[in-house]
A and B are shown apart, each in its own frame.
Chain A
Amino acid sequence: MSAAATASFVLFPLGKKRFALPAERVTELARMDHVHDFPSTTPLVNGVLVRRGEVIPVCDVAQVLVGSDAPPRKFYLIAKRRFETAEERAAIPVTGDCELTNSELLPRTGDLAVYVNGLLSLPDEIVEVLDLETLMMEEAR
């Protein structure tokens, strides 16, 4: 019997729930910073951060994942997003400390949202692993 393959994930809280992203997609955790906003029509993108001269869009996925009653965000999880011709970093506001974990990615079940890539079975909880691109695209539809 072969051992199940494990991978690294970053767990992040949004209110009472935790979600995960593949660790290779996460580049840093940053403290809250000034968000520069300007008129735009893209859902969930609230403005941009400027970090070391780089303009990073702020993608507030909490409204989709936990609704409008999410507590104040405390940090930004900065993750890479894939686009057709490029890869770009996005700042995801989260509500507390993040954690790195190694776990087996369990397949998604049918009734989960399309942006859930799979599940992590941790000692006290089941955590949804997100596909950031699908999450942002779904909300745009």
Chain B
Amino acid sequence: MRLTRQKKRVQRAAGFPVILFTIGEQLFAIDAALVNEIQSLQGLQPLGTQPRQFGKVRHTVTREGRRYWVVDGNVHLGMMPTHSTRVLLLDHTPVALKVDAIVRMTEISRVLALPHAFHGEERHWYKGLALIDGTVVPVINADSLLSHYDMTALEQNLLTLASAESERIMA
């Protein structure tokens, strides 16, 4: 009996937890281990004008002294604007993802490879697909949200804006 229970525990360990969230009507999943915290939109700081290629980052949020670049999920995935209510603060990088709603946490046993027929930006956006209760759910590739290069460029832009602002005040 004890052995059986242990065996079951090992089988469960083969899966991993994901957070299910929506943007518009679309359900997505993200590896729960990559998410540090989920919070409301309270405390989001709007950014100044950003270069066009960084249009998906319009806010920052600071949590425990750490600043996160907030990536708008709609813009990142080329979706129509929707009503965002939550941000997922990632654990390994100062990036947060703005989404509409958190659905629940669940466990998936594996991520299916995105079929080769898909050869567009989605190959970068998704780690693959998960089958959850008969529904195909794209699993977000957190590394695709912002690269180190993007973050450096955003940082530089922010410094430039701050410098221009202080010059304006001094004048």
Interface size class of B (residues with CB under 8 A): 20 to 34
Contact yes or no, B131 A50, CB < 8 A: yes
A56 to B98, CA, bound (A): 30
Residues on A with beta carbons closer than 8 Å to the beta carbon of B136: 36, 38, 48, 50, 55
A45 is an interface residue with CB less than 8 A from chain B: yes
State how many angstroms separate the Cβ of B168 from the closest Cβ of chain A: 40
Residues on A with beta carbons closer than 8 Å to the beta carbon of B138: 38-39
B167 is an interface residue with CB less than 8 A from chain A: no
With known contacts A36-B135, A50-B131, A140–B77 Cβ distance under 8 A: no
Interface size class of A (residues with CB under 8 A): 20 to 34
Q: Which of B140-156 contact A (CB under 8 A)?
A: none
A77 is an interface residue with CB less than 8 A from chain B: no
Residues on A with beta carbons closer than 8 Å to the beta carbon of B117: 42, 45, 57, 59, 81, 88, 90, 136
Chain B residue with Cβ nearest A41: B120
Interface centre among A40, A42, A56, A59 (most CB of B within 10 A): A40
Q: Interface with A: B3-11, B37-45, B57-65, B121-129, which one?
A: B121-129
A1 is an interface residue with CB less than 8 A from chain B: no
A53 to B77, CA, bound (A): 26
Residues on A with beta carbons closer than 8 Å to the beta carbon of B104: none
Contact yes or no, B79 A39, CB < 8 A: yes
Contact yes or no, B78 A41, CB < 8 A: yes
A56 to B129, CA, bound (A): 12
Contact yes or no, B121 A41, CB < 8 A: yes
Contact yes or no, B131 A48, CB < 8 A: no
Q: Which of B66-117 contact A (CB under 8 A)?
A: 77-79, 112, 115-117
Interface string of A55-76 (1 = CB under 8 A from B): 1110100000000000000000
Contact yes or no, B115 A40, CB < 8 A: no
